[in-house]
Amino acid sequence: MNKTLLIILLISQLSYANDNIEISILTCSVGQEVYSVFGHTAIRVIDKENKTDQVYNFGMFDFNTPNFEYKYLKGKLKYHRGVQETINFLKIYTYEKRLVHEQKLDLTADEKSEFLNRLKLLNQPENRFYFYSFLDKNCSTETRDLLKHIGVSFENQELNKSNRDLINSYLQEMPWLKFGINLVLGKSLDRNSNRNQSMFLPDYLQKEIGAAKLNGKNLIQSEKILNSIESNSNSNIQQIFSPLLIFSLLAVLFLFWFPKPAKIIASFSFGITGIFILALWLFSGHEEVKSNLNILWCNPLYLFYTPFLAKNKTNKMLSIILVASLIISIVVWLFKVQIFDISILPIFAILAIFNLQELRKIQKK
């Protein structure tokens, strides 16, 4: 009889502990800032016994970090994990007009204990900082890996979309940002993604969590929106004056009138941009920017061609190399070795006009 009472008491204590702790995954909608255009993921923990309601945030960084831009490009910018009150978290995202979607996890007492122990371990001072990776280590993948730690198994089927496709789907209303991001991302982004990899994006993590099971039962107990926001109907100037429009107008203009100063500016700009792409490829810790075949058409050799233009001279060898690199770029795009941004199409036209005019000068001489 005493053993039976002991078992009942133990079960009741476990049930009490289970009911006292609530763990949820928070998915925040996209924002207008560069760092927020893909959304955000965080973890909410409510402890009813201790009357706490906190958000564990994996995606924090300090804009005041010395050499912030250099460290980010180099892949040496340290992100950190932190804790804040849920009420303050919601105020920030409501102010930014970003919805916060909550998925409450259906976990046993043991699963909650294991999850929280791991969460608190990661939040210790010696573990709090980590080097950010867009595809492999961010707020969303950190949450995914925490769920895997307690036994959640996610599907791994290949998608019919690449990681570049997934990224671009968030950038349709920001074509200049889309152009810039595609300019610095290498060909590794064009391999087909899979369901596990796609969870580097908060929306895809939210979707996979909604379909996941743990020990034969649904992982999610309930879902709700935690805040309300006003719709933002402001027109986007980026869409009106898109890079596709601007570069197309320049291509038409240069077809009929391509003065020497414009050629010097174009040559210098392509050369400097090519050197930047090359530097990222060679020195950045971000794997996503390596093997970037944009360097074929945006060739650093244009920088060396600039002095010839300034002196009204030509260079046959440089001209042939630049024409060849442009042709190879088109082949690379056609055979989908690397997918370029659609805005590159009129730039190809500009480069073709530029190089053909220079070759014609050489033939005349």
- Name the token pair of 143: 């949450």
Q: Along the chain (365 residues), what's the average pLDDT of each consecutive run of 10 residues? A: 49 54 96 88 95 90 70 73 94 95 96 94 88 88 95 93 96 94 96 95 97 94 93 68 96 96 97 96 91 97 94 91 97 97 97 94 80
Distance (Å, whole) CA 205 – CA 199: 4
3-state secondary structure of 61: coil
Q: Which residues contact 189 (CB under 8 A, 6 or more apart)?
A: 162, 163, 164, 167, 288
Q: What is the DSSP letter of 200?
A: G
**Helix 260-283 vs helix 301-310: angle between axes, to the nearest 10 degrees?**
160
pTM above 0.75, yes or no: yes
Q: Which residues contact 11 (CB under 8 A, 6 or more apart)?
A: none
**Sign of torsion over alpha carbons 148, 154, 158, 164:** negative
24 and 44 Cβ atoms separated by less than 8 Å? yes
**Cα dist. 291→184, 233, 295, 327 in Å?**
10, 39, 9, 18
Distance (Å, whole) CA 37 – CA 58: 16
**Helix 175-184 vs helix 243-256: angle between axes, to the nearest 10 degrees?**
80
The residues with which 28 forms a beta bridge, in sequence order, are: 40, 100
